[in-house]
Structure 1
């Protein structure tokens, strides 16, 4: 394989590994505030109250 093929292969692998590290790092930095969590819980309770309970789905 010519040297340009190896360079392209290394750059592609570097981009993949770099993007995975970036994704992993950013996944730990997004924490929800207490207010946002409370809004989510209230909205979830509203949706559960409006949806009919279907006991046949198990």
Structure 2
């Protein structure tokens, strides 16, 4: 394989690995305000209560 082929392969691998590292580093940096977090937790509790009520209704 000519030298330019190896350069292109190495460049492609470098871009893939670099983008994966960038994705890993930015994965958990989503900042949510306290107000939104309280709304999310309240809605989650509401949904869980509805699901548990539905599960109790299904019991014979």
* Same fold per superposition (TM over 0.5): yes
* 1:27 partner SS: coil
Please list every run of 5 or more consecutive structure 1 residues that lacks an aligned counterpart in the other structure.
none
Q: Which residue in 1 is equivalent to 2:28?
A: 28
Cα RMSD (Å):
1.6
Moved over 6 A (4+): none
Which residue of structure 1 aligns with residue 7 of structure 2? 7
Consecutive unaligned residues in structure 2, runs of 5 or more: none
